[in-house]
């Protein structure tokens, strides 16, 4: 038997959602245990892995672009190329036929096999063979409960509490790429939360494709999130992504009353039309969704609500789009992810419903809804003016190292001048808000020479995306 190669350098790129980021932490952990070394430098890498997303069209396109770049690199030197995650699972034939440069494919339930697949691919290359390693079987049981993710530094740690999804929303590929829903043992999750607190993280985000349908024995999601929020040292607990059908009173009460559970709920709407909600298999009506929002806001009016909306789903008429528009106008979310419908291979919608709304109409509807939401987000954010907001400090603002950046309890970005306010990542500081755009709150007292006149709405209110997604 050949000796393991030493110091094999791996470059891992992640595309898509938070669940994929989390899976990359699992992959790093599993591979480091096996002696692999990670590098940020693609030029130095012996192995290049892409953890991919089949849900987001942008991520999908980026992966294909990267693959064509890698073709050149692979002609110059020995290199193992691996595609992991949802695209590996969903597009295996396409990827291997169209992209013969791929040596390893591993679906979301096959990461434990990755070190072996990569070693085999390296040996095969050394011996001049063209042997590929594919592992794309879905599991009913795999939750990686015993793998401690290799987390990057920061204030937030993710914990995946369940994997897969049984909902089969007709537009969504997740049940096919990530398999059936299964929840992790709650004791293991709480233990992991304790370890995270000891490592100094201040916030935990509980992840799952349909996170609030978590169920393990007599533990439901309300019991789980409360137990995690009770862990000493954890200041904030968030969760994503929930389904509107899984909000029993116990969960709403936990969110409303527990001091460490953030007052923020992401509540994917997708459409305001009952006919389309039926075609999407969302299992709620416009009226039921509205009633849930009412219940949440009656419990606590300060809970920040965000949503996802799909424009131009199969057969969406002008009037059906108007129903969505009116509902978004009425419910006044703090922010929204607005997507153009884009057909995903293997989904129920792809098999049963023609993608028959034209591209210009989809664009026009997305733009109208986007403009509406941008103005609502702007008005919502300006409700914080002259209030004091507790902010979890994350670090420097993206645009300037002289500005600090953190998040409000409701997950709204807050920016301030570091010369005026001193803080460290992980601190929770109370900041006075003096200005707001559609995406950001600005803290600190305005300098005397600067006008504090209201800013016009900024060019974006969050994220405008061109396709369906869940995270
Ligand atoms: S949209 Fe969410 S709830 Fe629906 S099938 Fe996809 S992952 Fe499951």
The per-residue pLDDT for range 276-320, each reduced to its tens digit, is: 999 999 999 999 999 999 999 999 999 999 999 999 999 999 999
Among protein residues, the one with the nearest Cα to ligand 1's atom 6 is: 172
Mean pLDDT of 69-89: 88
**Lowest mean pLDDT, pick from 51-60, 74-83, 289-298, 438-447:** 51-60
Cα(121) to centroid(ligand 1), Å? 34
The response to whether residue 209 sits with its C-beta less than 6 Å from ligand 1 reads: yes
Of 163, 172, 239, 242, the residue with max ligand 1 atoms within 8 A of its CB, to mutate for a pocket test, comes to 172
The pLDDT score that the predictor gives to residue 463 is 40
The pLDDT score that the predictor gives to residue 470 is 33
pLDDT(460) > 50: no
137, 160, 161, 197, 229 from 204: Cα distances, Å: 30, 10, 11, 9, 9
Mean pLDDT of 82-97: 81
Mean pLDDT of 449-470: 37
Which residue carries 């006075």 as its tokens?
432
Measure the CA angle with vertex 149, ends 10 and 182; round to 5°.
115
The pLDDT score that the predictor gives to residue 384 is 97
The per-residue pLDDT for range 408-433, each reduced to its tens digit, is: 999 999 999 998 888 999 999 999 99
Among protein residues, the one with the nearest Cα to ligand 1's atom 4 is: 169
With bands split at pLDDT 50, 70 and 90, how would you rate the model's confidence at 471? very low
Q: What is the mean pLDDT of the chain?
A: 90
The per-residue pLDDT for range 177-206, each reduced to its tens digit, is: 999 999 999 999 999 999 999 999 999 999
The response to whether residue 167 sits with its C-beta less than 6 Å from ligand 1 reads: yes
The pLDDT score that the predictor gives to residue 397 is 94
Find residue 422's DSSP bridge partners.
none
The pLDDT score that the predictor gives to residue 99 is 62
* Nearest ligand 1 atom, CA 281: 4
The per-residue pLDDT for range 320-363, each reduced to its tens digit, is: 999 999 999 999 999 999 999 999 988 999 999 999 999 999 99
pLDDT(449) > 70: no
The per-residue pLDDT for range 363-407, each reduced to its tens digit, is: 999 999 999 999 999 999 999 999 999 999 999 999 899 999 999
Model pTM score: 0.90
**Lowest mean pLDDT, pick from 134-138, 229-233, 243-247:** 134-138
The pLDDT score that the predictor gives to residue 56 is 67
With bands split at pLDDT 50, 70 and 90, how would you rate the model's confidence at 128? confident
The pLDDT score that the predictor gives to residue 132 is 83
The pLDDT score that the predictor gives to residue 459 is 35
The pLDDT score that the predictor gives to residue 467 is 35
pLDDT(41) > 80: yes
In angstroms, how far is the first alpha carbon of the chain from the final one?
44
The pLDDT score that the predictor gives to residue 469 is 34
pLDDT(458) > 50: no
The response to whether residue 86 sits with its C-beta less than 6 Å from ligand 1 reads: no
Among protein residues, the one with the nearest Cα to ligand 1's atom 7 is: 209
Q: Which long-range contacts (CB under 8 A, 24 or more apart) does 124-133 make?
A: 125/78, 125/80, 126/78, 132/96, 132/102, 132/103, 132/104, 132/105, 133/103, 133/104, 133/105
What residues contact 430, with CB distance under 8 A and at least 6 apart? 388, 389, 390, 391
pLDDT(454) > 50: no
């Amino acid at each position: 038997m050949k000796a393991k190669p030493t110091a094999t350098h791996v470059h891992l790129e992640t595309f898509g959602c938070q669940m994929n980021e989390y899976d990359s932490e699992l992959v790093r952990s599993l591979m480091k245990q096996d002696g692999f070394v990670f590098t940020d430098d693609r030029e130095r890498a012996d192995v290049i892995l892409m953890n991919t997303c089949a849900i987001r069209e942008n991520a999908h396109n980026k992966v294909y672009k990267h693959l064509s770049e890698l073709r050149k690199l692979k002609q110059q030197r020995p290199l193992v190329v691996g595609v992991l995650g949802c695209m590996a699972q969903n597009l295996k034939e396409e990827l291997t036929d169209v992209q013969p440069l791929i040596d390893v494919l591993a679906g979301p339930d096959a990461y434990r096999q990755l070190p072996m697949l990569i070693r085999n691919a390296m040996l095969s290359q050394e011996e001049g063979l063209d042997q590929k390693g594919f592992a794309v079987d879905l599991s009913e049981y795999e939750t990686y409960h015993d793998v401690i993710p290799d987390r990057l530094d920061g204030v937030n740690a993710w914990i995946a509490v369940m994997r897969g999804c049984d909902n089969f929303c007709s537009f969504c590929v997740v049940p096919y790429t990530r398999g059936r829903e299964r929840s992790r043992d709650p004791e293991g999750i709480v233990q992991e939360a304790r370890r995270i607190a000891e490592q100094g993280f201040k916030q935990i985000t509980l992840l799952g494709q349909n996170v609030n349908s978590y169920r393990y024995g007599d533990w439901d999601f309300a019991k789980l999130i409360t137990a995690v929020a009770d862990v000493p040292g954890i200041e904030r607990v968030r969760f994503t992504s929930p389904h509107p059908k899984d909000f029993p009173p116990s969960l709403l009460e936990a969110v409303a009353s527990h001091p460490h559970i953030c007052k923020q709920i992401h509540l994917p709407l997708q459409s305001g039309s009952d006919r389309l909600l039926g075609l999407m298999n969302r299992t709620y009506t416009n009226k039921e969704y509205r009633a849930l929002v009412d219940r949440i806001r009656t419990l606590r009016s300060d809970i920040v609500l965000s949503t996802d909306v799909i424009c131009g789903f199969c057969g969406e008429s002008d009037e059906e789009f108007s129903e969505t528009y009116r509902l978004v106008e009425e419910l006044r979310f703090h922010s929204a992810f607005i997507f153009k419908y884009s057909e995903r291979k293997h989904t129920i919608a792809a098999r049963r419903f023609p993608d028959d709304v034209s591209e210009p109409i989809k664009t026009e509807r997305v733009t109208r809804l986007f403009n509406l939401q941008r103005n609502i987000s702007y008005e919502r954010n300006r409700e914080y003016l002259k209030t004091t907001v507790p902010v979890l400090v994350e670090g420097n603002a993206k645009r300037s190292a002289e500005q600090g950046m953190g998040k409000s309890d409701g997950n709204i970005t807050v920016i301030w001048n570091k010369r005026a306010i001193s803080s460290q990542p992980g601190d929770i500081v109370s900041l006075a808000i003096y200005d707001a755009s559609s995406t950001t709150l600005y803290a600190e007292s305005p300098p005397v020479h600067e006008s504090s006149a209201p800013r016009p709405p900024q060019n974006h209110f969050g994220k405008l995306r061109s396709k369906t997604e869940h995270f």
